[in-house]
Amino acid sequence: MIPFLGAGANLCERPEGSSWQESGFLPSGAELATHLAESYAYPGQDTQNLLRVAQYVDLAAGDAALFDELHAIFAGAYGPNKLHRLLAEIPSRLRAQGRDVCGQLVITTNYDDALERAFADAGEELDVVYYAAERDEPGRFVHLRPDGERLEIQDRADYREFALEQRSVLLKVHGAVDRADFEGDSYVITEDHYIDYLARESIARLMPTYLMARMRSSHFLFLGYGMQDWNLRVILRSIWAEQARRFTSWAIQRAPDDIDRRFWERHQVEILDQPLEEWVDALRAELA
């Protein structure tokens, strides 16, 4: 099973009504959009539309200003939550059971490094594969090895620098913050970014074949997603198109509306209507 983390995964364990800027938590997509809209006097009414607001900041102040704002947020002082820590514990649990494959493939559309920090705290090595693109240049995936070396994946079919038998892989399909060097940041966040991202080539045809092979034969566990995240639907279409047979998957989603339910049901995704915090606690108790 492949965990697939959305922006809502970062809201796990956050006290209701708390401010992300004051409490040391990452913002939701809507909160990030509102922050950018206020900082750059966004003239529209849709101040929670992140793609639109980010597009305005890019046009009004330039991509350097936008990326500086994003770096300051995603390289800030926040820690992993209980969901991140649970995922980081799984390899050691599998190792203790004598499993042949102890690493896991985790996918996220988030830019932050909270999950990476959870793996580091757990003493687990982690390969990070993230999408990167320069302005007006074709996108590609970059492999950040546990030793810190960065390798551009040029031949996706033959790239085999992973070891899922021993360590996990985190696939960041919308880019990533580079905490040590802001020039290494990459974000798919504006309308133009998404157009470039989706129009040039199927994202599944840019990912390493080794990882796509795992996706073609796996169940998915969606954590922190709602179907208003239409960009997720585009990625899923690309991935599921590669599957010869559809595997049943699950979504942990609190109080999904009728549209969400119909979408998940169409794609054989079972909904577990439960807050992420409660699901994490229940799973941890089951594993104890």
Among left, alpha and beta (phi > 0; psi -120 to 50; other), residue 175 is left
- Quote the tokens at residue 209: 């074949």
- For residues 9 and 276, the answer to whether their CB atoms sit within 8 Å is yes
pTM of structure? 0.93
Residues whose CB falls within 8 Å of the CB of residue 219, separated by 6 or more in sequence, listed in order: 1, 2, 247, 248, 249, 250
198-46-197 Cα angle (round to 5): 10
* Contacts of 151-154 spanning 24+ positions with Cβ under 8 A: 153/129, 153/208
Q: Domain-by-domain residue ranges, the chain? A: 2-15+79-287
pLDDT tens for each residue of the chain, 288 residues long: 899 998 889 999 998 888 888 778 899 889 999 999 999 999 999 999 999 999 999 999 999 999 999 999 999 989 999 999 999 999 999 888 888 888 999 999 999 999 999 999 999 999 999 999 876 667 889 999 999 999 999 888 999 999 988 999 999 999 999 998 888 899 999 999 888 877 765 677 788 989 988 888 888 999 998 766 666 777 777 777 666 567 789 999 888 888 888 888 888 889 999 999 999 999 988 887
